[in-house]
Structure 1
Amino acid sequence: MASYKKRGYKPKKEKVVDNVNEETFDESQSAVAEAFNTLDETANKSEQWIEKNSKPLFYGLIAIAALILVFLAYNKYVSEPTQTEASNELAYPRTFFDKAATSTGKAADSLYTLALEGGDGKYGFIDIADSYSGTKAGNIANYYAGISYLKMNKYEEAIDYLSKFDSDDELLGPTALGAIGDAFADINQPEDALDYYEKAANKKDNEFTSPLFLFKAAQTAMGLKEYNKAEKLFTTIKEKYPTTEQGRDIEKYINSAKYAQ
């Protein structure tokens, strides 16, 4: 039987959006387009802002560049030569300091005095620490000055100079703090001594300074009748540094602190 079309019949057309079949239209395409439009608007605003502020930005960049150049020039022509000069100045007082370390009595005191005050137109540790305070040599001069005063039994001066010294060196950092502890111990301020011994012990973890100052801290705690604290400090030596000089006979000190409580 022949088929036929009704009069006035028109085939049904699929709705098309922007030449894309509605059934297959990907909404993400619209989102991407919107994102690009947003980026374009942002870029245009940024360009307008840069154009408007081009002169301040230019002058700002010049200022930053000038500061960098000044910093580099200062390091090259001022800081580095000053560091070298200060290091050279240390050689003279170090000679007397080293000699004093192997001397005793008045001879040692005379040598430490020369190391501190200088002579023959040469700076001593005091002058170097003062004149080159911003340099490494000036910093180390504080250490040597403090140790010199400590050896001469001038404890307040020793504390003053050693307190100005700052170092992360494995040995010098803890030694300086421990020397402050010694100075406080010698002027009968055991509480302060204990504090600095503990700081010295904790400054760097090594088998040279840590057990030494833990032991001094524990002994000081015993003198203060802080037996529980002393026991803990002695026990730390036993647990962490058993093969060191302080650790070899540490058990008897632990027992002394334990039974004193």
Structure 2
Amino acid sequence: MATYKKRGYKPNTKEEQQNSVEDQSTTAEVFNTLDEGASKTEEWVAKNQKYIFIIIGAAALVILGYLGYEEFIQEPKEAEAANEMFQAQQYFDSALAGSSAQSDSLYNLALTGGQGKFGFEDIIENYGGTKAGNLANYYAGMAYLNTNQYDKAIDRLEDFKSDDEILAPLAKGAIGDAFMQIDQPENALDFYEEAAKMRDNSFTTPKFLMKAAVVAIKLGEGSTAEEYLTRIKNEYPDAPEANQVAVYLGQAQAMQ
């Protein structure tokens, strides 16, 4: 058991006096050791202070450079890119809402620009490191998909990077659509499956499970199609795709 001594306590016995002397000696050694360590540290710092200052200065320059880049270069560039892309987005939205006769020309304007403003391709080329530049890859890919330029659609959509709940799987699924159009159903199935797995929501997940099931039936993979259709039936009964499950499920089961 530890023994605690009050302040002002004086050792009475010879043994206590001896222990007190030993304690003082040990304490003195500890302080001497600390002093020696501190002296060595001071000597090392003094000897290497030039290099220390260089390292600290370099780190400070990196931090200040990054902050300056973000504030004075990247942020204005982001704003400029978003402003430039506004007109291209207007063309794209009009193409979606317009008749098929008008849509192709509007998609082309969205891609190449008009009224003195950049198109999506110009945004990608000039503002590739911005959020707007990345988003332009998605719009450009969808514009190419809707104008039957499937190879270009695949290239642009693969360049699009996003964590968005909806856009990320839509882009991936659109690549599947492009592969279907160029008669590569095996590749299309891979992308539909990936799109279905990317997020779990009632919009994109059943949408791409259904597309994957239909392609699986086309490829003679009845069990795979049945698995996806059953998921739609059980997990997303309120999705529009659930209304089609019965028809395709019969086809999938008949193949097994």
Q: TM-score, normalised by structure 2?
A: 0.86
Specify which of 239, 242, 248 is matched with residue 253 of structure 1. Answer: 248
Report matched runs for 1:121-200 at 5 Å: 121-200=116-195
8 Å contact 2:217–2:251 — kept in the other structure? no
What's the counterpart of residue 94 of structure 1? 89
Q: Which residue of 2 aligns with 1:63?
A: 58
Distance 2:237 2:31 in 1: 70
State whether residues 144 and 150 of structure 2, in contact with CA within 8 Å, keep that contact through their aligned partners in structure 1.
Answer: yes
Structure 1 residue 114 displacement after superposition: 0.8
The number of residues matched between the two structures is: 244
Distance 1:30 1:248 in 2: 89
The separation in 2 between residues aligned to 1:41 and 1:230, in whole angstroms, is: 76
CA distance in 1, matches of 2:244, 2:31: 78
CA distance in 2, matches of 1:235, 1:76: 51
Cα shift at 1:18: 6.0
SS in 1 for 2:114: coil
Give the Å deviation of 1:94. Answer: 1.2
Which residue of 2 is the match for residue 9 of structure 1?
A: none
| 1:57 alignment partner, SS class | helix
Q: Does 1:20 align with 2:19?
A: yes
Structure 2 partner of 1:77: 72
- The one-letter code matched in structure 1 to 2:52 is L
Quote how far apart the aligned CAs of 1:15 are. 7.6
CA distance in 2, matches of 1:31, 1:214: 75
Q: Using the alignment, how far apart are the partners of 1:249 and 1:36 within structure 2?
A: 83
Based on CA coordinates, which of the two structures has the bigger radius of gyration? 1
Summarize deviations over 1:32-62 as a string: whole Å, max 9, x none: 8876665555444333322221111012111
Higher helix share: 2
Distance 2:204 2:222 in 1: 22
33-42 vs 201-210, which moves further: 33-42
Letter in 2 for 1:80: E
Partner of residue 53, structure 1:
48
Change (3 A) 1:117 1:249: closer
More off after superposition, 38-47 vs 124-133: 38-47
User: Distance in 1 between the 2:102 and 2:253 partners?
Assistant: 45
Gaps of 5+ in 2: 1-12
Offset at residue 255 of structure 1 (A): 3.9
Percent of pairs identical after alignment?
Answer: 49
Return the alpha-carbon distance in structure 2 between the equivalents of residues 167 and 92 of structure 1. Answer: 22
Shift of 1:63: 1.4
Task: State the one-letter code of the partner of 1:130.
Answer: E
| Alpha-carbon distance change, 35 to 209 in structure 1, aligned in 2, over 3 angstroms | farther
Match of 1:104 in 2: 99
